[in-house]
């Protein structure tokens, strides 16, 4: 269950970061509401995952999911760069998260 909780926390992390971009200084109310819900949800599920997983692993995967997810959303929906070098580093982040999962006792 810990990895499931961590996955959910990562989804909230992605929503949190995207909300920062789109809430327009708290003027866009739906994105502002999502911002606060995702902060709370992300921390709740991260805490649940960290009860079992090593905190370093949980935190690294949580932030890694956020980084990869937000970068991909930026590329596909917000016009961010998709240079080969940038995609290579995203792949490195994914590889690192898989490596942490494979070397975790849980």
Exposure string over 12-41, b if 16+ CB within 10 A, otherwise e = bbbbbbbbeeebeeeeeeebbebbeebeeb
**Per-residue model confidence (pLDDT) at position 104:** 83
Q: What is the pLDDT of residues 60-72, one digit of tens each?
A: 999 999 999 999 9
List, run by run, the mean pLDDT of 10-residue segments along the chain (106 residues). 97 96 95 98 98 95 96 95 96 95 82
Q: Is the pTM of this model over 0.85?
A: yes
**How far apart are alpha carbons 33 and 18 in whole angstroms?**
12
């Amino acid at each position: 269950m810990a990895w499931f909780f961590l996955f959910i926390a990562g989804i909230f992390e992605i929503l949190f970061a995207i909300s920062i971009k789109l809430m327009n200084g708290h003027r866009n109310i739906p994105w502002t509401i999502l911002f606060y819900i995702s902060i709370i949800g992300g921390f709740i599920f991260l805490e649940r995952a960290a009860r079992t997983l090593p905190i370093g692993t949980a935190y690294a995967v949580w932030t890694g999911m956020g980084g990869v997810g937000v970068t991909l959303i930026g590329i596909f929906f917000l016009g961010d760069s998709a240079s080969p070098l940038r995609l290579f580093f995203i792949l490195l982040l994914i590889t690192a998260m898989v490596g942490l999962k494979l070397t975790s006792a849980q």
